[in-house]
């Protein structure tokens, strides 16, 4: 069994929880989730994982119940709330019962002792996040829009239904680049040359291969994808009453298989009727993420056969 500890920076509680649940995990406490498998390096909000090795009714009992060889030297830590810290008491107990050498720096293994529910205690091998998609996206975040954090872009991709991804308003490219780093078939564009210049720099910095053309999103240019986008936030350049994000969303609905998009909260009352929303997640800055599908009978083809 694997235990997963999530981080949720301020404002990102709902999306981080949704990401954990979407990957098939069960929530056990505010921060801890559990499951059989978990892909730590591809997750946006998971901080570390613990592969369970023993249990008990107390920390001491859990340590005494360890009955496998632990790579030596090793370090023993405890989890208090969201903080991890070395524990000399547990380390001496482990040394007495399991043997091996204890060492704080550069250990061959870290054993974490924690309680997910205040009743049962668990010990397990702790694994830190390494070589992760979030780290890679972090390399480009100086050149990205403040409206979307790298972690949130990755979580959107992880929450999206399993179809090729299209972001027709890529801005500096966080969503399509996160999708590519996750190995997804990805299409993107933007209608702003400045943004595209940054997106292409970011693409090259990450050594990824994707076309980033200048295109108008009001005219959909690909079909059968999942629309994953962080719509432009401003009110319309088209009229005073129409909202540009809603107009862009409506334009794409007939051509997509599914969507996972960020919209302003105020639009929730005026959403088009030709969609089914399967999940709604509160997001930062009075915005909401909606995930769903268009009603099938209403989908159109961009390139009809005849």
The contact set with ligand SAM (CB under 6 A) reads 144-145, 147-148, 168-169, 171-175, 190-192, 195, 216-218, 230, 232-233
**Cβ closer to ligand SAM: 194 or 279?**
194
Burial of 192 (C-beta count, 10 Å sphere; 0-12/13-18/19+): middle
Sheet architecture: strand order including 32-35: 26-27, 32-35, 2-6, 46-56, 121-128, 109-114, 74-80, 83-86
Three-state SS letters, 292-305: EEECHHHCCCCCCC
**Cβ closer to ligand SAM: 70 or 196?**
196
- State how far the Cα of 135 lies from the Cα of 204, in Å rounded to an integer: 16
Give the CB-nearest residue to ligand SAM: 171
Beta bridge partners of 289: 262, 281
Q: For residue 177, give the nearest of 214, 217, 132, 140 by alpha carbon.
A: 140
- State how far the Cα of 172 lies from the Cα of 177, in Å rounded to an integer: 9
The distance from CA 93 to its chain's CA centroid, rounded to whole angstroms, is 37
Minimal distance in Å, beta carbon 186 to ligand SAM?
13
- State how far the Cα of 228 lies from the Cα of 165, in Å rounded to an integer: 6
**Cβ closer to ligand SAM: 130 or 142?**
142
Cβ atoms 70, 111 nearer than 8 A? yes
**Cβ closer to ligand SAM: 103 or 194?**
194
**Cβ closer to ligand SAM: 19 or 230?**
230
**Cβ closer to ligand SAM: 64 or 235?**
235
């Amino acid at each position: 069994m694997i235990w997963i500890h999530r981080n949720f920076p301020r404002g990102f509680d709902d999306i981080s929880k949704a990401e954990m649940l979407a990957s098939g995990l069960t929530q056990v406490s505010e921060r801890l989730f559990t499951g059989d498998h978990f892909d730590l390096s591809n997750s946006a909000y998971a901080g570390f994982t613990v592969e369970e090795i023993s249990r008990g009714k107390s920390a001491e009992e859990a340590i005494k119940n360890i009955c496998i060889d632990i790579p030596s030297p090793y370090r023993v830590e405890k989890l208090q709330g969201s903080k991890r810290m070395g524990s000399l008491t547990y380390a001496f107990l482990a040394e007495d019962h399991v043997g091996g050498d204890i060492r704080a720096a550069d250990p061959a293994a870290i054993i974490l002792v924690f309680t997910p529910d205040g009743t049962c205690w668990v010990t397990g091998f702790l694994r830190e996040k390494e070589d992760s998609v979030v780290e890679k996206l972090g390399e480009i975040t100086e050149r990205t829009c403040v409206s979307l954090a790298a972690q949130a872009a990755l979580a959107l991709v992880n929450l999206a239904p399993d179809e090729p991804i299209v972001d027709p308003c890529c801005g500096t490219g966080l969503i399509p680049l996160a999708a590519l780093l996750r190995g997804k078939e990805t299409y993107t564009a933007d209608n702003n040359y400045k943004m595209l210049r940054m997106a292409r720099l970011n693409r090259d910095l990450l050594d990824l291969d994707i076309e980033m053309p200048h295109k108008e999103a009001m005219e959909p240019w690909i079909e059968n994808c999942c629309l994953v986008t962080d719509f432009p936030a401003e009110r319309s350049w088209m009229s005073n009453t129409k909202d540009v994000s809603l107009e862009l969303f409506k334009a794409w609905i007939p051509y997509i298989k599914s969507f996972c998009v960020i919209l302003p909260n105020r639009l929730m009352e005026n959403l088009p009727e030709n969609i089914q929303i399967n999940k709604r997640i509160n997001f930062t800055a009075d915005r909401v993420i909606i995930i769903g599908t268009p009603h099938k009978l209403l989908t159109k083809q961009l390139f009809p056969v005849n």
